Structure 1
Amino acid sequence: MTPDPDLLSNVRSERVRAVRSLGRRAVRQRQGRFVVEGPQGVRELLRYAPGSARDVYLTPAAADRYAELVSLAGEAGVPVRACTDQVLAAMSDTPHPQGVLAVASPVDVPLGEALAAATDGAGFVVVLTNVRDPGNAGTVIRGADAFGASAVLVSDASVDVYNPKVVRSTVGSLFHLPLVLGVPVPDLLQACRVHGLRLLAADGGGGTMLPDADLTAPHAWVLGNEAWGLPEEVLDQCDDVVAVPIVRAESLNLAMAATVCLHASSAAR
């Protein structure tokens, strides 16, 4: 059998090394590119942010299994490149890739644009301050998407949202709602206040229990670092400090607490 000349098979090629290098933050920032792995993430990229997609890579088996991705890429004019399992693995950040990977350009938007949508009706946003764990950040973005948040605002001291682990843990939600990145915490809080959002700090030591919090007006959930929570200077700037009632456990981790709070906001709407 004659080898397919269009099949990417050299794991040491410049293209493969270039995609693999996007696992490093400095390279992502310099190139203005990031990697989306897995069929669900790539599907949502092509459905909701096709203008951001630059290339789609699939193994022959994945191309057969996920024919919809090939069609979506074709409709969006995104190049689809067939590659061997070894090449896909060399480009991937995971030990067991699913045969599908895309390269995309950033999808974040300006702060004012994101907040304009949040003040339409009883909207709410999520503010991540100094959140460092990729899994937590991605799970919060996914929860914000699931419960109808208008935007997610990520401070400059937080994890890079285009980190492959964050992107994977959002499972495509990264492309569903406005995302703001790299803004200092004081600027985020001030902008929320200017746009009429009540600032609600989620903190285990809060004086207001979640069932008693006013979630009917536009508001912003302010979430802190996994280890030390929110500093006093941030708590002092918030309109209320809200705690999730807990029966027995000592505490909830960031992603769990955020999910509970976001569900409450969704129910209040």
Structure 2
Amino acid sequence: MLTNPRSDRVRAVRALSRRAVRSRQGLFVAEGPQSVREAVSHRPDLVRGVYATPDAVVRHGDLVQAAVSVGLAVHEVSGEVLAAMVETDAPQGLLAVCRVATASLKDVLALRPRLLCVLINVRDPGNAGTVLRGADAAGADAVVISDNSVDVFGPKVVRSTAGSLFHLPVVTGLGIDEIVEQVRAAGLLLLAADGAGELLLGDVDLSGPHAWVMGNEAWGLPGEVRGRCDHVVRVPIHGRAESLNLAMAATICLYASATAQRRPQ
């Protein structure tokens, strides 16, 4: 059992809370039983090691056994050590160190996707993670996150995805122009989600291949991006709410697409 919270290994894991270290080492931390379970179940090839407290080994014995059965190293650590590895105030006794693996937009488009979610200049970790989770639940083929956005492998984003990060391709690091050009060239309709949209969500044909383009939480999509999309669409607000936040609007749009694409023809 690892019991020294100041050991080199503990410091190395804790250092992955910094974006520069994650970028340099190509590693990130998935924290909590839900994230670890999804990593072990769906992308064990990305897992470099699992760390668990004695209590977590007992409570999540099936998860630990699943990790061992696919050849993953499970390290038992004291509660103090696990707390020193993460920034969370109340860690849940389990974490996995994983390899960063982002998809290529070219490869995603080669599979002829029907539904994509594109995030432009999104900065809030909770929003980014929740949108990714919603895209996964709605059956989107991939999520594309532009450069100048939050790091999708940061601890807060990873926690917010609740394991969905390991379920679908995530494309990062591309500029806005490159994303728009590639998606349009692949034949997908580009739909900008914006509160000032000229079309209501219910008035758009969502049955064909398309990509939802979502903007920054505070200032939305840049005008030049809206201008390059085929339609600018707004979610109708029937009550007195001033607006919807990014995660809420994205989930509504993605589920509208999922419903339209699964409706019997």
| Deviations 1:219-247 (CA, angstroms, capped at 9, x unpaired) | 00000000000011101110000000002
Paired position in structure 1 for 2:226: 235
In the alignment, structure 1 segments of 5+ residues that lack a partner are 1-6
1:189-200 aligned at under 5 Å gives the runs 189-200=180-191
Letter in 2 for 1:10: N
Does the alignment pair 1:268 with 2:263?
no
Q: Assess if the C-alpha contact under 8 Å between 1:49 and 1:107 holds in 2.
A: no
* Inter-partner Cα distance in structure 1 for 2:165 and 2:93: 20
Q: Show CA shifts across 1:121-168 (max 9, x none).
A: xx1100000000000000000000000000000101110000000000
For the residues of structure 2 that align with 1:113 and 1:66, how far apart are their CA atoms? 36
CA distance in 1, matches of 2:95, 2:221: 36
Write the distance in 2 (CA, Å) between the matches of 1:166 and 1:255.
Answer: 13
Give the structure-2-normalised TM-score. 0.97
Instruction: Please tell me whether residue 92 in structure 1 is matched to residue 101 in structure 2.
Output: no
The CA distance in 2 between the partners of 1:139 and 1:116, in whole Å, is 26
2:171 paired residue number: 180
Q: Give the aligned partner of residue 72 of structure 1.
A: 66
Q: How does 1:105-184 map to 2 (within 5 A)?
A: 105-117=99-111, 119-120=112-113, 123-184=114-175
For residues 14-93 of structure 1, the aligned pairs below 5 Å read: 14-93=8-87
1:256 aligns with 248
Secondary structure of 1:126's partner?
Answer: strand
Any idea what SS the aligned residue of 2:16 has? helix
> What's 1:221 paired with?
212
Cα RMSD of the aligned pairs, angstroms, is: 0.8
Q: Name the residue aligned to 1:208.
A: 199
Q: What is the count of residue pairs matched by the alignment?
A: 260
Partner of residue 3, structure 1:
none
1:194 Cα deviation after fit: 1.1
Amino acid at match of 1:93: E
Q: Deviation of residue 108 (structure 1)?
A: 1.2
